[in-house]
């Protein structure tokens, strides 16, 4: 691959697939890397150079950036929704291997820009104890007390990227993603996030005639949800900017989990009974403060939750329908 093109790690994942597609649409040559078999990638872009590599290994990271690149987007991580990260803390923290080895490989290959995908899980839990939460500002990550496991790895890797910029001159950028959702994402199997899980449950009820769905907790916990197109746009803007400190990339539209389900039911044209059950809940409330990204990039996410959920629900409905009929899923 000639120097000057892009590398996307975690390209077989949800955000990575969309980012690869966006870079290809710009006319770039893209090396797309993931450890999963190609048949398991959320989206497979035939115009990319698609490599199956285990980036926990230093030699695989060197192969990923072989020949150099103007931009590296490091999204590879072992992660999922709250049900996954609360029960797989060690696995999530082992992502520090790929975070470390990719930084070293990028430094040694003379990479131009290096983007690190961090998470709102870096924010201190004590600032997220109420449903009516104050939006989280970037400075609220310190004093540090992030989500156990996953959040600690993200915050540490953010910090490591900063020091690679300071000590080695590698131009690093970092975004703190807030609950990214959309079509072509994981919607079952235990790694799905709240919007996808809600869409799956409601689509299943519609298709099977069920009248009840389960919701973890009392459903009054609050979140903001960021549509995938906004996530990709924000990622590219931030990577190509001169903003060196981490920025929130997230919607600032706060809703309860109950409201999320009701909105999807409106899209589906049904009204279901909600049965609240114990489950992994995470923090009580989380929202994005977009003051800094508006100031620095003159931009913030624009897709309404209604519009994003409509597209997401339609896609997941088709996937569930295919499953129930024994047909292959669409990628």
Supply the DSSP string of 233-273, one letter for each residue: HHHHHHHTSS--S-EEES---EEEHHHHHHHHHHHHT---E
Q: How confident is the model at residue 45 (pLDDT cuts 50, 70, 90)?
A: very high
pTM score of the predicted model = 0.95
Would you list the domain boundaries of the chain? 6-180+225-249, 183-224+253-324
For residue 40 the two structure tokens come to 């398991």
Task: Judge contact between 287 and 254, C-beta under 8 A.
Answer: yes
Q: Which CATH class is domain 183-224+253-324?
A: alpha beta
- Average pLDDT score over residue span 39-59: 97
pLDDT of amino acid 86: 86
Output 57-61 pairs: Cβ under 8 A, ≥24 positions apart.
Answer: 57/97, 57/101, 58/101, 58/104, 58/105, 60/101, 61/98, 61/101, 61/102, 61/104, 61/105
Q: CB neighbours (10 Å) of residue 117?
A: 28
Task: Render pLDDT for 98-146 as a digit per residue (tens, 0 to 9).
Answer: 999 999 999 999 999 999 999 999 999 889 989 889 999 999 999 999 9
Q: Do domains 6-180+225-249 and 183-224+253-324 have the same CATH topology?
A: no
Query: Which position among 18, 116, 150, 181 bears the catalytic label?
Result: 150
State whether CATH 3.40.50.2300 applies to domain 6-180+225-249: no
Task: Render pLDDT for 182-208 as a digit per residue (tens, 0 to 9).
Answer: 999 999 988 899 999 999 999 999 999
Active site residue 313: no
DSSP E strands in 10-111: the ranges are 30-34, 49-52, 71-74
């Amino acid at each position: 691959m000639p120097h000057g093109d892009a590398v996307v790690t975690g390209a077989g994942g949800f955000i990575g697939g969309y980012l690869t597609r966006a870079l290809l649409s710009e006319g770039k040559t893209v090396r797309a890397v993931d450890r999963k078999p190609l048949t398991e990638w959320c989206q497979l872009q035939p115009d990319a150079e698609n490599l199956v590599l285990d980036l926990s290994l230093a030699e695989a990271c060197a192969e990923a950036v072989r020949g150099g690149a103007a931009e590296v987007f490091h999204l590879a991580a072992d992660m999922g929704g709250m049900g996954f990260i609360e029960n797989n803390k060690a696995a999530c923290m082992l992502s520090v291997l790929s975070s470390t080895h990719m930084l070293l490989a990028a430094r040694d290959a003379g990479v131009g820009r290096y983007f690190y995908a961090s998470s709102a899980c870096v924010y201190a839990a004590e600032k997220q104890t109420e449903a009516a939460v104050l939006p989280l500002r970037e400075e609220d990550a310190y004093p540090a007390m992030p989500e156990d496991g996953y959040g600690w790895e993200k915050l540490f890797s953010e910090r490591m990227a900063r020091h690679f910029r300071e000590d080695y001159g590698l131009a690093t950028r970092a975004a703190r993603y807030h609950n990214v959702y959309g079509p072509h994402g994981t919607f079952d199997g235990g790694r799905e996030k709240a919007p996808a899980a809600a869409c799956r449950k409601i689509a299943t009820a519609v298709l099977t005639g069920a009248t009840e769905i389960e919701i973890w907790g009392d459903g009054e916990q609050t979140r903001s949800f960021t549509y995938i197109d906004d996530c990709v746009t924000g990622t590219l803007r931030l990577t190509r900017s001169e903003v060196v400190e981490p920025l929130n990339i997230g919607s600032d539209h706060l809703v309860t989990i109950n409201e999320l389900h009701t909105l999807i039911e409106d899209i589906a044209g049904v009204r279901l009974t909600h049965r609240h059950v114990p489950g992994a809940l995470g923090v009580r409330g989380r929202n994005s403060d977009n003051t800094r990204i508006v100031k620095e990039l003159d931009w913030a996410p624009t897709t309404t939750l209604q519009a994003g959920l409509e597209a997401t629900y339609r896609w997941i409905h088709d996937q569930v329908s295919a499953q129930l009929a024994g047909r292959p899923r669409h990628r």
